[in-house]
Amino acid sequence: MTTRILIFLMTIGVVACSPGSSTDRDPALAKDHYSFANVEQFVTEQIVLNLNVDFEAQVLNGSAMLFMRRIDPDAREIVLDTRDLTVENVEFLVSRGKEWDEIPTEHTLGETDALLGTPLTIYVPDSLADAEHVVPVVHYRTSPESTALGWLPPELTAGGEHPMLYSQSQAIHARSWIPLQDTPAVRFTYLARVRTPPGLIALMSAENDPDVERDGDYYFEMPQPIPSYLMAIAAGNLHFAALGEDTGVYAEPELLEASAYEFADTQAMFETAEAMFGPYQWGRYDLLILPPSFPYGGMENPRLSFLTPSLLAGDRSLVSVVAHELAHSWSGNLVTNQTWRDGWLNEGWTSYLEFRLMQVIYDEDRAAEENLLNYEELLLNFERIDPKYQALAPRITELDPESGQGTIAYHKGNLFLQYLEHAYGREIFDQFITDYFSDFAFQVITTEDFVDYLDKRLLSVHHGILTREQVERWMYEPGLPDDAVLPTSRNLDDAAELAAMWSRGELDAAELPVTDWSAQATIHFINALDPDLSTEKLVEIDKALGLSDTQNAEIARTWFIQVATRRHEPAYDQMAEHLRKFGRVRLIRPIYVALAGNGSDMQLARELFNAARGAYHPIANAYIGPVFEDDPDGE
Ligand code: BES
Ligand code: ZN
């Protein structure tokens, strides 16, 4: 234990948090089924990490001190979540004035569950039987197989000279790099000391100093309490460019200029978000551009959103992901889903706030285009997802937190909130938004808590507009209610019309007004092409729109899904290149699914995956591997 960390620790207060209020309807639904932690007995209030980043062994090693409060006076065991961690030793710290005594203790690792990992049980010694606060310290190391950690050799980074590390903790991967209560129901603050090889910088979902001396020894503080899935770390040759007073971007030097250009609107988004949703509670807001293997578009790690470099289209056409991750600073990070079943409270709310931000920062047309594309994706989800998972908050407990629902929580949640806005009008609904974030700031809530609040603050105040039953239909029924307000876009309708005309041969490819099109219109055009086009026609449209060579990863995704579905072999080389180039699940998994399902290319799909998987993040491999089994979940 370093004295610097202990001094640091004693100078700051510990924020007390309890697990969120539970609903009295069905306690099984308010419980987190994805954690072993006994949160009814002990809750974590603060974590102090002391970690070394060992690039050669591809492990983090060090210790986690957990400042825990006892809720149940009779509790004598603490159960933490772990996955693939080697636990070397556990002791308790007891403060004796300015000194800390170490009390040795016993621990056991239980049976491993494939989804949940391995419970770590720590026995509280007799001498601490009456203590209200206990401080177990776990000395441990991660495994190179840690599901959260992407370890990149230099050749998989933009610069090619330095290695890089980054984490992805959501939904239940924090336990694979920190032994902790890995549930969104518990919030804690944290401090960390992280050592890296000199010259490389470490960053966390905490206060980061862009001007820090790059001596390989870094200190972090996250003073606001956060749930475990927002624990995040990265290390590499990362540099900083300011985007505005409160915002900036970290990237490898090779990508810094392009990143600063692409995300130049971030400060304006930040200011708009504060004006619309209430005060930003986290200090600075920075972006971190990761290598292509990052498995998501973005991850809302507080103060430092992690982003895929596939957003660097050169024309700012994909920055709705930044609006999305920024909006999570309110929906998700400030007001958090109590369990993953309530995920729509994070993702549906955020998709709606993203839509609202896009309307202001860009224009109504662009927001409408994105809204319609999302709606179409939702319709595809309804076709292939079991109706019992189509409810916003299914009344079930066994849903896989990362896959079962596809993007239903996002787009159906978004449409639900648009429906409320439409029913009550913008003025009333905007007031509801800011009240909601301020009333539940730094709390965790269930769907049922939300519906009660909505009832009290909107339905019962403005009588005769919507009933609770209408709201509950969205929460608990599959599909969309009949009175949903459906998205429309003139621009996309025009693009679909042109796709039909060109497919029928009524129009030459040269006559298409492609230069006026947004990326969203091109995507819609591709999806609206006739299913039976000849190879010659597909070659013609590929050439006319530059599809196989596009710099826009969303256009490439849309095109290569078609290429794979239609077995358009002239574009297979570029499709294979796309699958090698990106590791973002959204950009590649549907192409593998289309290849595996086109009746002829299962073997090719397997070969392409086996050639590329070494460069993907473990989370991406876990999503894509099952595509080649007999019963993929079909997303
Ligand atoms: N929090 C999510 C990413 C996530 C979700 C990780 C579930 C693990 C489990 C993030 O905010 C997100 O939604 N990313 C999207 C962005 C998009 C919808 C704008 C993505 O990665 O595509
Ligand atoms: Zn999100």
Residues 447, 365 share a domain: yes
Give the contacts of 431 (CB within 8 A, at least 6 positions apart).
Answer: none
CA distances from 590 to 153, 380, 547, 558 (A): 27, 12, 17, 9
Last residue of a domain, one of 329, 360, 388: 329
- Among 235, 253, 283, the domain boundary falls at 235
Taking the centre of ligand 1 as the mean of its atom positions, its distance from the CA of residue 368, in whole angstroms, is 20
- Hey, which residues does 165 pair with through a beta bridge? 151, 235
Residues 403 and 294 in one domain: no
Residue closest by Cα to atom 19 of ligand 1: 321
Q: Is 325 a catalytic residue?
A: yes
Name the residue range of residue 197's domain: 3-235
The pair of structure tokens assigned to 465 is 């507009």
Cβ pair 233, 218 in contact under 8 A: no
Of the candidates 219, 362, 410, 572, the residue annotated as catalytic is 410
Say if ligand 1 is within 6 A of residue 554 CB.
no
Do residues 420 and 373 both lie within one domain?
yes
Of 185, 214, 235, the last residue of a domain is 235
Whether 299 is in the pocket of ligand 1, judged by its Cβ within 6 Å, is: yes
**483: in domain:** no
Find the 296 Cα to ligand 1 centroid distance in Å: 6
pLDDT of residue 559: 98
Residue 214 near residue 250, CB atoms below 8 Å: no
150, containing H or E segment: strand 149-152
Half-sphere exposure of residue 27: CA atoms within 13 angstroms, side-chain side: 1
Question: For this structure, is 410 an active site residue?
Answer: yes
Q: Which atom of ligand 1 is nearest to the CA of 325?
A: 11
Distance 323 CA to ligand 2 centre (A): 10
Question: Does 132 fall in a domain?
Answer: yes
Which residue's CA is minimally distant from atom 17 of ligand 1?
321
Q: Please tell me if the CB atom of residue 328 comes closer than 6 angstroms to any atom of ligand 1.
A: yes
Say if residues 53 and 110 touch (Cβ distance below 8 Å). Answer: no
Q: Which residues surround ligand 2, an ion (CB under 5 A)?
A: 347, 350
The H or E element containing residue 580 is helix 572-581
pLDDT at 633 over 60: no
| 332 C-beta closer than 6 A to ligand 1 | no
For ligand 2, the distance from its centroid to the CA atom of residue 385, given in whole angstroms, is: 20
Whose C-alpha lies nearest to ligand 1, atom 14?
298
Please give the average per-residue pLDDT across 498-522, as a whole number: 95
- CA of 296, closest atom in ligand 1: 21
What is the model's pLDDT at position 20?
Answer: 37
Same domain? 138 vs 272: no
Indicate the SS3 state at residue 125.
coil
Task: Tell me which residue has its CA closest to atom 15 in ligand 1.
Answer: 297
Distance 463 CA to ligand 1 centre (A): 36
Asked if the structure places residue 484 within a domain, the reply is no
Domain count, the chain: 4
334 in a domain, yes or no? no
CATH code, domain carrying 430:
1.10.390.10
What residues contact 390, with CB distance under 8 A and at least 6 apart? 381, 382, 405, 408, 412, 477, 478, 479
Residue among 231, 328, 347 to mutate when testing ligand 1 (max atoms within 8 A of CB):
347
Between the CA of 503 and the centroid of ligand 2 the distance, in Å, is 36
Residues 259 and 225 in one domain: no
Residue 370 Cβ < 6 Å to ligand 1: no
Position 104 pLDDT exceeds 70: yes
CA 346–ligand 2 middle distance (angstroms): 7
Distance CA 433, CA 612 (A): 44
Atom of ligand 1 nearest to the CA of 308: 21
Q: Categorize the per-residue pLDDT at 23 as very low, low, confident or very high, splitting at 50, 70 and 90.
A: very low
> Given the CA of residue 328, which atom of ligand 1 is nearest to it?
11
Indicate the top mutation candidate among 324, 337, 352 to test ligand 1's pocket, ranked by most ligand atoms within 8 A of CB: 324
Query: What token pair was written down for 537?
Result: 């026609």
pTM: 0.95
pLDDT for residue 1 is more than 60: no
Encode pLDDT of 302-360 as tens digits. Answer: 999 999 999 999 999 999 999 999 999 999 999 999 999 999 999 999 999 999 999 99
pLDDT at 632 over 90: no
Query: Which CATH number does the domain housing residue 558 bear?
Result: 1.25.40.320
List, for residues 150-192, the tens digit of each pLDDT value: 999 999 999 999 999 999 999 999 999 999 999 999 999 999 9
CATH number of the domain bearing residue 249 = 3.30.2010.30
543 domain residue, yes or no: yes
Please tell me whether residues 271 and 222 are part of one structural domain: no
In contact, 221 and 12? CB cutoff 8 Å: yes
Q: Which atom of ligand 1 is nearest to the CA of 401?
A: 9
197 and 226 part of one domain:
yes
359 and 279 in one domain? no
Q: Are residues 581 and 494 in the same domain?
A: yes
Q: Identify whether 633 is part of a domain.
A: no
**Residue 25 reports pLDDT greater than 90:** no
Kindly report the protein residue whose alpha carbon is nearest to atom 8 of ligand 1.
170
| Predicted local distance difference test score (pLDDT) of residue 402 | 76
| Same domain? 246 vs 213 | no
Mean pLDDT of 468-483: 98
Residue burial 593-624, b: 16+ Cβ < 10 Å; e: rest: bbbbebeebeebbeebbeebeebbbbbbbbbb
d(CA 398, CA 620): 22
Please check whether residues 355 and 309 belong to one and the same domain.
no
Residues 293 and 403 in one domain: no
pLDDT in tens, 534-569: 999 999 999 999 999 999 999 999 999 999 999 999
φ, ψ at 208 (rounded to 5°): -115, 140
Q: Which of 510, 405, 372, 457 is nearest to 171 (CA)?
A: 405
Q: 185 CB less than 6 Å from ligand 1? A: no
Is there a contact between 367 and 375 (Cβ–Cβ < 8 Å)? Answer: no
Instruction: Report yes or no on 136 lying in a domain.
Output: yes
Entry field: residues in the chain:
635
Q: Could you tell me the distance, in angstroms and rounded to a whole number, from the CA of residue 348 to the centre of ligand 2?
A: 8
Per-residue confidence band for 6, with pLDDT thresholds at 50, 70 and 90? very low
Classify burial at 512, counting beta carbons within 10 Å of its beta carbon; exposed 0-12, middle 13-18, buried 19 or more.
Answer: buried
Percentage above 90 pLDDT, the chain: 92
Predicted confidence at residue 56, as pLDDT, reads 98
19-23 mean pLDDT: 39
- The reported pLDDT for the residue numbered 19 is 38
Q: Is residue 433 part of a domain?
A: yes
Tell me the two tokens of residue 257. 């200029």
Q: What is the tens place of the pLDDT at every residue in 46-93?
A: 999 999 999 999 999 999 999 999 999 999 999 999 999 999 999 999
Q: Pick the atom of ligand 1 nearest to 332's CA.
A: 1
Q: pLDDT value at position 396?
A: 85
What three-state secondary structure class fits 561?
A: helix
pLDDT value of residue 631:
53
The number of the ligand nearest the C-alpha atom of 173 reads: 1
Tell whether ligand 1 has an atom less than 6 A from the beta carbon of residue 170: yes
